């Protein structure tokens, strides 16, 4: 291969993504004196973490008795026993520490009358190993993610973290030994392609919710980290598991936080029935997200949906004191007015289950180190947040554990980098001679493509295919067809054409490069989902029904294992779920019911 030269910048660590996990990791590194670069497609406080409205969970016990072990139990149960119990124990034990730390960074949490952090109930949060709901979610009104991001950003400004804003990372740099040596990135303002050569690379790029047509995710969530990892030969774990949020505004996809139900919101069908009482007699409207989503779709499928097409249900808060709505849920009222044309003080909000969160991702251990299938760390490579699969969410994430994941594993990945740099386990290795060839070839192909596919049309085709063939309910034949279709779409993605060939602010090029990432995630999701012949958590198959042998369609004998999808040949392999926690007894497999 020819030697292509591009400018090289050297750092101790490069972090890709400036949402909650990237900023939390950056604080660790910058405060430890490591020269740290943070790359982001947007200004940090415009990251999608802002959209997390509901809260961050921690067993502080400020309102009533709580314990990290109960939180751990809820998380394992929520994950439908697919979560790794070492990582889950680590996260739940660390939760009070990272939340209090965030408070010290200036996070304006809501307060109780005594001045403690206010905690509210949330779906799936229970005391005493699943006995009754407990108040565990810490929030800043319905702007928790926004407030968190600002607190973390300010702390980074203080620590002199170096930000590269409106840069898109394109590919990982790996050498022949597999060690990760940084990333190649594109500056949008100039079109310049630069290598960020570093001892450590942390991916904090968020999820890829835009693979679905109906999604609560902002347009930015194109799975860039997943695409880069897949192209670099890193497998993606458990990509068949996508959480559909029960309450997206019908039509627009815009999210109505679960906190609405925490404050007393009730789901009703066309007969005005509180139908969750039938599906989850104890937790009712506060049952886990997949349980609520499935119940809603069942109501719609059985003809009890609302509206002229009977294709949504209603989220009712008209019985709440308007002052409570204005105080605790002001943003939700505004969203409902703008995107549904309804004031929820006066009338219920039309809602449907909508793609919301990616449980799978780049495989890591609980220290935030990316791991090979045998569990050994990939030297120089770390990941945290939605891009990563630790795996704490397993087959289904518990509400408010996403912000907790950002804090705990953002910090853990930063600490691992510090330890690995200080121990000499990783250093600034020389770049291979041809390190830029692959990326430059991708860019050249895009610049010279003629008679190719339109980027927007191809992306829409991808999103519609994922929605139709791999949505909240999955059917064997649809999945088989879906695999064939997505492989066809991949061929179109490989020959996308852009008319604009300019260097400066060429957004068409950036969108084509985002599509290169979306297709990797779509393939991983469809292929993994087709292969997993059971229902578990958010992965619900029509041909894996609820039976006495396999309650809820879950088949532990054959499928209690993590999927690993490899880009090369669309290959699949599997690895065991870690059932041994760090210090407590294993939480044994049992049927998940609420």
Partner 1 sequence: MEDREKLNRLRWRCTRRAMLEMDLLLGEFLDRIFPTLTPGQADAFVTLADMEDLELWPLVTGSRECSDLVQAEVLALLRDVRVK
CB nearer to partner 1: pick between 192 and 490: 192
Q: Which residues participate in the annotated binding site for substrate? A: 245, 257, 356, 397
Minimal distance in Å, beta carbon 591 to partner 1? 35
Q: At what angle do helices 455-469 and 507-531 cross, to 10 degrees?
A: 20
d(CA 285, CA 313): 13
Residue 295 burial by Cβ neighbours in a 10 Å radius (0-12, 13-18, 19+): buried
DSSP code for 297: H
Residue 212 burial by Cβ neighbours in a 10 Å radius (0-12, 13-18, 19+): buried
Whether residue 518 contacts residue 375, with contact meaning beta carbons closer than 8 Å, is answered with no
Q: Which residues participate in the annotated binding site for FAD? A: 17-22, 40-55, 224, 386, 402-403
Residue 315 burial by Cβ neighbours in a 10 Å radius (0-12, 13-18, 19+): buried
Whether residue 38 contacts residue 163, with contact meaning beta carbons closer than 8 Å, is answered with yes
Cis preceding-peptide flag for 491 (omega within 30 of 0)? no
DSSP state letters, 153-213: HHHHHHTTPEEEETEEEEEEEE-TT--EEEEEEEETTT--EEEEEEEEEEE-----GGGSS
Minimal distance in Å, beta carbon 333 to partner 1? 9
CB nearer to partner 1: pick between 156 and 391: 156
Give strand pairing partners of 255.
Answer: 248
Q: Which residues participate in the annotated binding site? A: 17-22, 40-55, 224, 245, 257, 356, 386, 397, 402-403
Minimal distance in Å, beta carbon 45 to partner 1? 6
List CB contacts of 177: < 8 A, sequence separation 6 or more.
Answer: 379
- Concerning whether 289 is annotated as a catalytic residue, the answer is yes
Minimal distance in Å, beta carbon 356 to partner 1? 11
Minimal distance in Å, beta carbon 461 to partner 1? 19
List CB contacts of 516: < 8 A, sequence separation 6 or more.
Answer: 227, 442, 493
The whole-angstrom distance between residue 508's C-alpha and the CA centroid of its chain comes to 25
Half-sphere exposure of 141 (CA within 13 A, CB side): 15
d(CA 550, CA 557): 9
Closest CA to 586 of 232, 101, 72, 100: 72
CB nearer to partner 1: pick between 155 and 539: 155
Whether residue 92 contacts residue 75, with contact meaning beta carbons closer than 8 Å, is answered with yes
Positions that interact with partner 1 (CB under 8 A): 41-42, 45-51, 143, 146, 166, 188-189, 215-220, 251-255, 330-331, 334-335, 337-339, 341, 502, 504-507, 510
86-113 CB burial, b ≥16 within 10 A, e <16: bbbbbbbbbbbebbbbbeebebebbeee
CB nearer to partner 1: pick between 51 and 572: 51
CB nearer to partner 1: pick between 50 and 185: 50
CB nearer to partner 1: pick between 226 and 335: 335
Residue 562: count of CB within 10 angstroms of its CB: 22
Minimal distance in Å, beta carbon 145 to partner 1? 8
- Quick check: helix, strand or coil at residue 378? strand
**What torsion do the CA atoms of 298, 302, 306, 312 make, to the nearest 10 degrees?**
30
CB nearer to partner 1: pick between 339 and 574: 339
Catalytic residue among 136, 210, 289, 474: 289
CB nearer to partner 1: pick between 337 and 347: 337
**Residues with catalytic function:** 289
């Amino acid at each position: 291969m020819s030697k292509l030269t591009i400018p090289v910048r050297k750092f101790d660590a490069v972090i890709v993504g400036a949402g909650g996990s990237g900023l939390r990791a950056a604080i660790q590194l910058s405060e430890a004196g490591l020269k740290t670069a943070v790359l982001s497609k947007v200004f940090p406080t415009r990251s999608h973490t802002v959209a997390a409205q509901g809260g961050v969970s921690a067993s502080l016990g400020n309102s009533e008795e709580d314990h990290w072990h109960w939180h751990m139990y809820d998380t394992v149960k929520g994950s439908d026993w697919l979560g790794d119990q070492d990582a889950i124990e680590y996260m739940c034990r660390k939760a009070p520490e990272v939340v209090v730390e965030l408070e010290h960074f200036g996070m304006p949490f809501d307060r109780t009358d005594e001045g403690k952090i206010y905690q509210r109930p949330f779906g799936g949060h229970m005391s005493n190993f699943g006995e009754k709901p407990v108040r565990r979610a810490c929030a800043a009104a319905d702007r928790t993610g926004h407030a968190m991001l600002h607190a973390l950003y300010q702390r980074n400004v203080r620590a002199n973290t170096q930000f590269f804003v409106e840069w898109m990372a394109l590919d990982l740099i790996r050498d022949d030994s597999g060690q990760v040596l940084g990333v190649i990135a594109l500056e949008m303002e100039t079109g310049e392609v630069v290598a960020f050569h570093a001892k450590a690379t942390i991916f904090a790029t968020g999820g890829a919710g835009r693979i679905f047509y109906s999604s609560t995710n902002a347009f930015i969530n194109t799975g860039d980290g997943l695409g880069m990892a897949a192209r670099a030969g890193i497998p993606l774990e458990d990509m068949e598991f996508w959480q559909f949020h029960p309450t997206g505004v019908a039509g627009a996809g815009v999210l109505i936080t679960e906190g609405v139900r925490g404050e007393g919101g009730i789901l009703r069908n066309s007969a005005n029935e509180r139908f969750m009482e039938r599906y989850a007699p104890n937790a009712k409207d506060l049952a886990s997200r997949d349980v609520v989503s499935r119940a809603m779709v069942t109501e719609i499928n059985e003809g009890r949906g609302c509206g002229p097409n009977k294709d949504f249900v209603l989220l009712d808060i008209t019985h709440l004191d308007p002052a409570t709505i204005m105080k605790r849920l002001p943003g939700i009222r505004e969203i409902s007015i703008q995107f549904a044309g309804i004031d929820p003080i006066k009338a219920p909000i039309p809602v449907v289950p909508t793609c919301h969160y990616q449980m799978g991702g780049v495989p890591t251990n609980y220290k935030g180190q990316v791991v090979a299938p045998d569990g050994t760390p990939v030297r120089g490579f770390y990941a945290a947040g939605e891009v990563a699969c630790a795996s704490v969410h397993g087959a289904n994430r518990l509400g408010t554990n996403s912000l907790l994941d950002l804090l705990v594993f953002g910090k853990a990945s930063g600490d691992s980098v510090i330890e690995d740099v200080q121990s000499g386990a990783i250093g600034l290795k020389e770049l291979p001679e041809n390190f830029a060839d692959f990326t430059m070839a991708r860019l050249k192909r895009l610049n010279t493509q003629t008679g190719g596919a339109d980027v927007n049309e191809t992306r829409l085709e991808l999103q519609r295919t994922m929605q139709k063939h791999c949505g909240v309910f999955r059917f064997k034949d649809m999945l088989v067809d879906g695999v064939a279709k997505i492989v066809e779409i991949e061929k179109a993605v490989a020959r996308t054409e852009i008319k604009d060939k300019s260097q400066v602010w060429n957004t068409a090029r950036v969108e084509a490069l985002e599509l290169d990432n979306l297709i990797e995630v779509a393939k991983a999701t469809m292929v993994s989902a087709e292969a997993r012949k059971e229902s578990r958590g958010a992965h619900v198959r029509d041909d894996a029904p609820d039976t006495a042998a396999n309650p809820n369609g879950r088949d532990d004998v054959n499928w209690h294992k993590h999927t690993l999808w490899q880009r090369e040949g669309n290959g699949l392999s599997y690895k065991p779920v870690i059932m041994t926690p760090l210090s407590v007894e294993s939480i044994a497999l049992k049927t998940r019911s609420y």
